[in-house]
C-alpha cells in the first residue's frame, strides 16, 4: 500500500503487497507528526549591541587597491571653489547659509535660463548642515550642504500667491533662505515685503526660482503644481558649485548678505 499527502490534508491509499504492521505504524507516525504544531509565545523583546570600530591595523592590500579611486575622489572633492569672509549659519529668522544657497539658485536661473527671475527660495529643512565656516569653500562642503539631486524650477506666480508663500515662512518663524526680497515678520505674517527693492504688487506676475521638491508639493504647499513653469533639469548642487566658482574668480568673499532679508 502507498499513501499520498495532498494539500487538503487528507490521506489516500493504494494497495501494494507489504506488511500490514509496517503500514499501520507508518500511517500513525505520519499523521502524528503532521498534526503536531507546538505554539510558542515571546517572553520579552530585547537586542544585543555589537560595537563596530576601526581595525587597529589597516589592510595594506585593500588600501593599495582603493588608492587610485580615493586619490581621484579626494582631488575632485578638495577643489577650492571660493572663500567666505564670514561664517554662514543655518538659523532663524534670517539664515545666512540659506540665503547663500538661494543666491546661488537666483544667479544660476538668471545666467542660464531666464533673466526675468525675481526671487529664489531654499526650504529650511533642505539645508543639511548647520554652518559653513569662514575660509575656503570646497566642493566637498557643497555636497554636504546639498546631497540631494533636486533640480531648479522657474515658476510664474502672481503677487497674491507669493504673499501667501511668504506668510507661510513667517508663520514658521522664518528660516530657510530667500534671495531677491526682504520682509518683516509681524503677528506671524510677512509685512513690508520688497521684491528687488520695490513693494510687492499682488497683481503682478513674478518669476520664482525653487526646487522641484517644493514645486511638486514638498512641505505641504501644493499651489505651485499647476502654474506655468520651466523645468530646467539643472541640479541645485551644480548651481551652488558654479556660483561659488564664479564668485571665487570675481574675488567675492561676502555671501548670504544682507542680514536683514528676514527681520523678526
Q: How confident is the model at residue 30 (pLDDT cuts 50, 70, 90)?
A: very low
Confidence at residue 195, expressed as pLDDT on a 0 to 100 scale: 97
pTM here? 0.75
Domain co-membership, 19 together with 89: no
Arithmetic mean of pLDDT over the chain = 85
**Would residue 54 be called left, alpha or beta, if left means φ above 0 and alpha means ψ between -120 and 50 degrees?**
beta
Per-residue pLDDT tens over the stretch 54-67: 666 778 887 788 77
Domain co-membership, 111 together with 226: yes
Confidence at residue 66, expressed as pLDDT on a 0 to 100 scale: 77
Per-residue burial over 153-186, b if 16 or more Cβ lie within 10 Å, else e, is: bbbebebebbbebbbebbebebbbbbbbbbbbbe
What CATH number did the domain enclosing 157 receive? 3.90.780.10
Domain co-membership, 20 together with 112: no
The three three-digit cell numbers of residue 21, written as one number: 504492521
Q: Give the range of the structural domain holding residue 170, as residue numbers without chain letter.
A: 73-263
Q: How many domains does the chain have?
A: 2
Domain co-membership, 27 together with 145: no
Cα–Cα distance list, 91 to 2, 10, 174 (Å): 79, 71, 9
As a whole-number percent, the residues of the chain with pLDDT over 70 amount to 78
List the single range of 11-25, 149-163, 215-229 with lowest mean pLDDT: 11-25
Residue 162 phi, psi dihedral angles, 5° rounding = -60, -35
With 60 as the cut, is the pLDDT of residue 29 above it? no
Amino acid at each position: 500500500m502507498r499513501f499520498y499527502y495532498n494539500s487538503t490534508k487528507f490521506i489516500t491509499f493504494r494497495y501494494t503487497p507489504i506488511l500490514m504492521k509496517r503500514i499501520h505504524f507508518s500511517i500513525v507516525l505520519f499523521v502524528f507528526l503532521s498534526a503536531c504544531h507546538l505554539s510558542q509565545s515571546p517572553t520579552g523583546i530585547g537586542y544585543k549591541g555589537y560595537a563596530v570600530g576601526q581595525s587597529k591595523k589597516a589592510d595594506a592590500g585593500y588600501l593599495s587597491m582603493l588608492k587610485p579611486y580615493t586619490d581621484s575622489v579626494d582631488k575632485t572633492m578638495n577643489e577650492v571653489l571660493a572663500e567666505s569672509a564670514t561664517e554662514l549659519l543655518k538659523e532663524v529668522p534670517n539664515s545666512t547659509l540659506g540665503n547663500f544657497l538661494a543666491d546661488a539658485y537666483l544667479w544660476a536661473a538668471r545666467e542660464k535660463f531666464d533673466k526675468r527671475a525675481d526671487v529664489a527660495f531654499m526650504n529650511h529643512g533642505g539645508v543639511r548642515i548647520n554652518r559653513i565656516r569662514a575660509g575656503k569653500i570646497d566642493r566637498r562642503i557643497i555636497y554636504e550642504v546639498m546631497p540631494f539631486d533636486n533640480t531648479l524650477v522657474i515658476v510664474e506666480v502672481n503677487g497674491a500667491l507669493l504673499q501667501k508663500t511668504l506668510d507661510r515662512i513667517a508663520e514658521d518663524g522664518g528660516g530657510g533662505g530667500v534671495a531677491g526680497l526682504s520682509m518683516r515678520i509681524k503677528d506671524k505674517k510677512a509685512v513690508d515685503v520688497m521684491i528687488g527693492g520695490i513693494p510687492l504688487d499682488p497683481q503682478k506676475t513674478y518669476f520664482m526660482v525653487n526646487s522641484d521638491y517644493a514645486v511638486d508639493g514638498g512641505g505641504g504647499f501644493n499651489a505651485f503644481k499647476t502654474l506655468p513653469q520651466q523645468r530646467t533639469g539643472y541640479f541645485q548642487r551644480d548651481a551652488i558649485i558654479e556660483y561659488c566658482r564664479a564668485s571665487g574668480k570675481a574675488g567675492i568673499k561676502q555671501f548670504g548678505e544682507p542680514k536683514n532679508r528676514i527681520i523678526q
